[in-house]
Amino acid sequence: MSVVAPVPAAGDLAVGQPQPPARRGRRFRRPRVWTTAIFALSALFFLVPLVSAFKFALQESSGKHGFGNFTQVFQSAPLRSSLITSLEIAGITAVVTLVLMVPTVIWVRLRLPKLSLLMEGVTILPIVIPPVVMAAGLTQLQGKAPAWLANLLFTSPITALTPFYVILALPLTYRALDTGARAIDLQTLVEASRNLGAGWPATIMRVVLPNIQTALFGAAFLAIALVLGEVVISSFLLYTTFPVQLIQEGQAQPGVAVALSLCSIFFTFLLLLALSFLGGRRRGMTRVGVL
């Protein structure tokens, strides 16, 4: 005969038994004074020069205030030509750098982890060597190169500057991609993909790249920003890229140069925003696919 124990009433539970503490509502923490002060100083540090530059760019050569300098930026044929050239070099440099560095990072992390320090030391050499030294050496090469090499490299700014910009971008892209590879379990992902019958190209494109896409976009952005800001090598080799044209405009028309600088900053910000949006969107699509 089974005996059923009586169920205690709700009031009996409160007698002689410790009750769990009541959940307190989340209190709104007020920002500390030093946090607000640092944020305000940082905002002033970045915004005051931009506002001053914008005010200076509004001053036209006639003495009046207007957007004539900004309209002249878009109407100038040399500026458009130099910008298109720099964008072409930046795109090719980013693609070539990623094609070279992504398999290298994967191979070093999987097969040769002991060579990580050596790779970091090798890829940092373009930063250690000043660009002026590289530009001086390239100038000597341009003047004394045989005819076939001169025709192969130095007939166009794209073929002349892209290989050396790829070398300059190696330290930035390698560290960005290596950081992304360290953040995931690369060994397990690659072994699982290989065990399921996928080849190396399919493993890299469908498994590795979606998991390091943030690092991939960051590396591409760093390469593009480097090309759009490099001026030493292109000026030594006498190629008119966007930064060189910016300096020439600054010597002739300071207001137009400042307006062009603001446009380039705005363009870089839009590029970074687009890359961040694409990275976040692809992360969301990847999570939905996993779920």
Can you give the residue range of the structural domain that contains 190?
A: 84-245
pLDDT tens digits, one per residue of 38-47: 888 888 888 8
> Range with the lowest mean pLDDT among 53-57, 79-83, 88-92, 245-249?
245-249
Percentage with pLDDT > 70 across the chain: 81
**pLDDT at site 291:** 38
On whether residue 218 sits in a domain, the answer given is yes
On whether residue 99 sits in a domain, the answer given is yes
Output the six-digit token pair for 64: 């009046």
**pLDDT at site 20:** 53
**pLDDT at site 290:** 42
pLDDT at 24 over 60: no
Residues ≥6 apart with Cβ < 8 Å to 67? 58
Output the six-digit token pair for 159: 């073929």
On whether residue 275 sits in a domain, the answer given is no
**pLDDT at site 98:** 92
pLDDT tens digits, one per residue of 224-253: 888 888 888 888 888 888 888 877 776 777
Number of domains in the chain: 1
pLDDT at 185 over 80: yes
Average pLDDT, whole number, for the chain?
Answer: 78
pLDDT at 288 over 70: no
User: Residue 31 — very low, low, confident or very high, per pLDDT cuts 50/70/90?
Assistant: low
pLDDT at 95 over 90: yes
pLDDT at 147 over 70: yes
pLDDT at 8 over 60: no
The mean per-residue pLDDT over the stretch 197-209 comes to: 86
pLDDT at 202 over 80: yes
The mean per-residue pLDDT over the stretch 181-186 comes to: 86
Please report, for residues 57, 178, 211, the alpha-carbon distance to residue 279 in angstroms, rounded to integers and kept in the order given.
34, 17, 11
**pLDDT at site 160:** 86
Please report, for residues 112, 175, 219, the alpha-carbon distance to residue 117 in angstroms, rounded to integers and kept in the order given.
11, 12, 20
The mean per-residue pLDDT over the stretch 125-149 comes to: 81
Output the six-digit token pair for 178: 């290596």
pLDDT at 269 over 60: yes
On whether residue 164 sits in a domain, the answer given is yes
On whether residue 206 sits in a domain, the answer given is yes
230-233: long-range pairs with CB below 8 Å, 24+? 230/131, 230/165, 230/168, 232/131, 232/132, 232/135, 233/131, 233/134, 233/135, 233/138, 233/161, 233/164, 233/165
On whether residue 252 sits in a domain, the answer given is no
Amino acid in the structure at residue 81: S
On whether residue 166 sits in a domain, the answer given is yes
243, 207 in Cβ contact below 8 A?
A: no
pLDDT at 174 over 50: yes
On whether residue 126 sits in a domain, the answer given is yes
Identify the CA nearest to 246 among candidates 223, 262, 224: 262
Q: Which residues of 2-39 are buried (b: 16+ CB within 10 A; e: fewer)?
A: eeeeeeeeeeeeeeeeeeeeeeeeeeeeeeeeeeeeee
The whole-angstrom separation of Cα 23 and Cα 199 is 54
The mean per-residue pLDDT over the stretch 43-56 comes to: 85
pLDDT at 26 over 70: no
Q: What is the CATH number of the domain that holds 182?
A: 1.10.3720.10
pLDDT at 6 over 70: no
The whole-angstrom separation of Cα 232 and Cα 220 is 21
**pLDDT at site 137:** 84
Output the six-digit token pair for 251: 């010597």
Output the six-digit token pair for 7: 């169920």
The mean per-residue pLDDT over the stretch 162-182 comes to: 88
